[in-house]
Structure 1
Amino acid sequence: MTLQSIDFEAKSAEELLRWSMDQYGLEAGLASSFGLEDMVLIDMIAKLDGPLTIFTLDTGRLHEETYDVMERVRSKYGLEIKTYFPNQDKVESLVREKGFFSFRESVDNRKECCYIRKVEPLNRALGELKAWITGLRRTQGVTRTDIAKVLEDADHPPLIKINPLAEWTEEQVMTYIIENNVPINILHKRNYPSIGCAPCTRPVEQGEDIRAGRWWWENPEHKECGLHNRPA
């Protein structure tokens, strides 16, 4: 059976997670930053009670509130969370040569920082997997409008990328969280719909895109860190 022979678009989020567990077991991993969508998926994974890896990237510049929700996840669900850190030598070299805020000087500098702190650790994590699961949704911004629920990841072949919440709306996410008493990052209640590194995230204003607070000094078309590049 090939991926092309399965109608993934007809499957629910829970069905896609169960398929991932059955197909790949611990070689499927949820990449979690503990945002709203990731918390929905963690709650679903805990209830399905099947084999699946959960991992996170600690960039060294996260909000204290993000660490707090990590600990609440461990306490509530009892799930193991693998943490990957950036290469210490590369971080030290970047800061020594360009300072602590080089990412605000140009898109190239920002992508360099993202690569060292996020992309390279992600590549190490994905090297242990056959499939990775994300909380990407089509309504999260202009760079994500056409994502599929399941696809071959062109950036990390031969990995399979699984987006169980691709068709979900923000309202569906919040309804699930409320109805299932899912813990969330307190920053979401302070107008942070999308949360990344502390220096690169601000609260959004009423009417702004939900990712407007990420790298707000850049053109919206550039607002990806390299973890989720738009398909060509």
Structure 2
Amino acid sequence: MTTIPTIDLVDALASEYADKSPSEIMKLALSQQGEIAISFSGAEDVVLIDLASNLGIPFRVFSLDTGRLHPETYQFLDTVRKHYKIDIEICFPESDAVQKLVTEKGFFSFYQDEHKECCGIRKVQPLRKKLATLDGWITGQRKDQSPGTRNEIPVVQADPGFSGPGKQLIKYNPLANWSSADVWNYIRLMEIPYNPLHERGFISIGCEPCTRPVLPNQHEREGRWWWEDATHKECGLHAGNMKK
């Protein structure tokens, strides 16, 4: 195994692996010494799990349960767990924080206050707690996934959103150069599981109250937080993508 890359080596790795295949980038990530895990929720992420399983290198998977996911998503998580015979480390929000939000603002405050507060409690805080135990994480981000926020993501990067004093967290994006069509071609070719909501027009799938199907020729992220600015469809998990 190689060591976790220091900040001065990250850019060099990103350049070296910029045009390599997702499998090669995944192998790089899983070969790093330290605690590395795949973040899993959607179509891109099950591709990551399939790539990792084919490499024959031990790997970890974690997922965020916000308490507001679609029933189909919970079933999908269990399907993937059984299909690959893996454990999925489930991360939950702090119950006191959820209870305070719901008591003070109700179950659907995000329709008036925007989604950031709810996502912060249900997604970002649990992720921050999880990443504090890791040296690197592997995501299914793609450059074509969100207008204005993901079009410049590298295949390897220092994570500015979740690194802390004395600790440099590394983020690997093996599918950064793939399109949605590439992802689905792989899923069909390899006959791997996918969320049944995709068959009903859902492309980018998040929490049930904040996700809806998209129409033909709509961008996939238009189904997320559709009542807000279409160019900033991020929940905070990838805060480093947002331009200041």
Query: TM bucket by the smaller chain?
Result: over 0.9
Which whole-Å deviations, capped at 9, do the CAs of 1:197-229 have from their partners, x for residues lacking one? 000000001111111110000011231100012
Residue-by-residue CA offset, 1:67-96 (whole Å, 9 max, x unaligned): 111111111110111000000011000000
Structure 2: gaps (5+ residues): none
Of 189-198 and 9-18, the range deviating more from structure 2: 9-18
The residue that corresponds to 2:151 in the other structure is 145
1:11 maps to amino acid: K
Answer yes or no: is the 8 Å Cα contact 1:190–1:203 preserved in 2: yes
Q: 1:231 deviation in Å?
A: 5.0
What is the SS of the residue equivalent to 1:151? strand
Aligned to 2:40: 32
Aligned residue for 2:20? 11
Is it true that 1:190 corresponds to 2:200 in the alignment? yes
Asked if structure 2 preserves the Cα contact closer than 8 Å seen for 1:24 and 1:131, the reply is no
Q: Which AA in structure 2 matches 1:221?
A: T
Q: Distance in 1 between matches of 2:242 and 2:105?
A: 31
Aligned residues: 228
Extract unaligned runs of 5+ from structure 1. none
User: Residue 56 and residue 111 in structure 1: after superposition, are their counterparts in 2 closer, same or farther (change >3 A)?
Assistant: same
Conserved in 1, the CA contact under 8 Å of 2:116 and 2:235?
Answer: yes
The aligned counterpart of 2:141 is 136
Post-superposition offset of 1:106: 2.2
Distance 1:186 1:154 in 2: 34
2:41 maps to 1:41? no
Map 1:190-209 onto structure 2 (within 5 A).
Answer: 190-209=200-219
Partner AA of 2:223 in structure 1: G
Partner Cα distance (1:170, 1:84) in 2: 27
Distance 1:54 1:104 in 2: 31
Structure 1 residue aligned with 2:66: 59
The counterpart of 1:23, out of the listed 20, 32, 45, is 32
Question: What TM-score do you get using the length of structure 1 for normalisation?
Answer: 0.95
Q: Which amino acid aligns with 2:31?
A: D
Contact 2:146 2:233 (C-alpha < 8 Å) held by counterparts = no
Q: Report runs of 4+ in structure 1 exceeding 4 Å deviation.
A: none
Within the candidate set 43, 53, 57, 1:50 is matched to 57
Offset of residue 46 of structure 1: 1.3
The 3-state SS of whatever aligns with 1:221 is coil
**TM (normalized to structure 2)?**
0.90
1:125 aligns with 2:113: no
* Residue 136 of structure 1, CA deviation: 0.4
* 1:73 match: secondary structure: helix
Deviation at 1:175, TM superposition (A): 0.8
Letter in 2 for 1:62: L
Contact 2:146/2:231, CA 8 A, preserved across alignment: no
The more displaced of 213-222 and 190-199 is: 213-222
- From 160, 163, 174, the equivalent of 1:154 is 160
Equivalent position amino acid for 2:237 in 1: L
